[in-house]
Amino acid sequence: MVNRRTERGNQPVATNRYGAACATCSTYVPPGEGVLTRVGGEWTTYCRNCEPKPAAPIRGTHSGWHQRELAAFDLETSGVDVATDFIVTAAVCDTSGVRRTWLVHPGDREIPEGATAVHGITTAHAREHGRPAVDCLDELADVLAGYLDAGTPVAIYNAVFDLSLLEAELRRHGRRPLAERTAVVGPIIDPLLIDKHVDRFRRGKRTLEATSAFYGVALADAHTADGDAEACLRLAVELGARYPKLAALDVRTLHNEQRAWAAEQAASFQAYLDRTKPGHGERIAGEWPVTPPAPSAKGDAVAGALAAVAPGGEAETGDRALDGDRGAGAGARRGSGSVPGPRSDVDVDVDVDVSLTDGPVTGFGFGRGGAL
């Protein structure tokens, strides 16, 4: 008998309703104190100590978008407030071996100690070696637009944060936003969003580090834009290689499906908050891959101050601008809840269908050109 069914690591899991011996250690498991896991088509009882750990699906030999050229993009920032925080470093890479990085001069802005503890870039280092923000932003946006106009999917872990902050920074510095440099901001592949859709009830963190480890992706230089972009690129490939239905989608359909999944995940978490924290007042945004800018007096003040400041100092040149002293050691990377939106740290004990939906979702909520 199955009770309170869930899905963890692509395995159906339930609380045992009747007592039975643990399949691993043979200890008697009283009703309600163990778990049932479907193994080989049969429900098997385990005690809590012997519960099988979630495992990623085995890589397949199927074809799909994961075998084509892909690019990836990542930011390290001064914080997680799109309205007021700024880009410290950025990186773009692709499967052909192209690698580009940017270190941004912060002007008169200070990189908080907490942010430095994450990515290791100090204000002094950025001022000494960084390039003017307008130059970095223009180059970065043009590089991304080039990939998108060519139809090359860009993988971005928690895309709604990185893209929204990039657009906000471009506006603050009086530069054309990405949405005006390309026909449509897409196709985007968001490994965080996809992983939460195909393996919704897996317990544990969904940070880039944790998700990379789950899928066997090495993250050698964590908390740096270039290291994280490389890991994101490989993670996107792994997701395609391990989920045939996902890989079978063309990239335009995949992009539009992710828009629907983002809205579903936001609605689910909104309902969870409304149920567990009445009167919390928080709105979980479901837009993807970019959250439209919200009015912000503080953000307007930042933009006004930037207009009056011209960053000085020697510019560090070349695509390896991130090399050199990084200041303090790295800490934990920002979580998946960088901006209001779907979160990854909530386990909900309900039935779940992890199959992919059929057909594209029409409409595109940001930029020009409509749906992909």
Q: What is the CATH number of the domain that holds 138?
A: 3.30.420.10
Q: Is residue 246 part of a domain?
A: yes
- Kindly report the number of other CB atoms within 10 A of residue 13's CB atom: 23
Classify residue 321: in a domain, yes or no. Answer: no
- Residue 149 pLDDT level (bands cut at 50, 70, 90): very high
Domain presence at residue 41: yes
pLDDT tens sequence across 225-237: 999 999 999 999 9
Same structural domain, 138 and 274: yes
Q: In the prediction, which pLDDT does 52 show?
A: 82
Do 106 and 226 have their domain in common?
A: yes
- Looking at the structure, do residues 269 and 184 belong to the same domain, yes or no? yes
| 34 shares its domain with 160 | no
Q: Is residue 243 part of a domain?
A: yes
Q: Are 165 and 131 in contact (CB under 8 A)?
A: no
- Residue 194 and residue 165 share a domain: yes
Residue 17 lies in a domain: yes
Q: Is the model's pLDDT at 6 over the cut of 50?
A: no
33 lies in some domain: yes
Query: 314 lies in a domain?
Result: no
Are residues 41 and 151 both part of a single domain? Answer: no
Residue 15 has phi, psi (to 5 degrees) of -75, 135
Provide the domain count of the chain: 2
Domain that residue 44 falls in: 2-50
Q: pTM score, two decimals?
A: 0.75
The reply to whether 159 and 98 lie within a common domain is yes
- If asked whether residues 164 and 45 sit together in one domain, one would say no
Average confidence (pLDDT) over 309-331:
37
The last residue of one of the domains, among 307, 338, 356, is 307
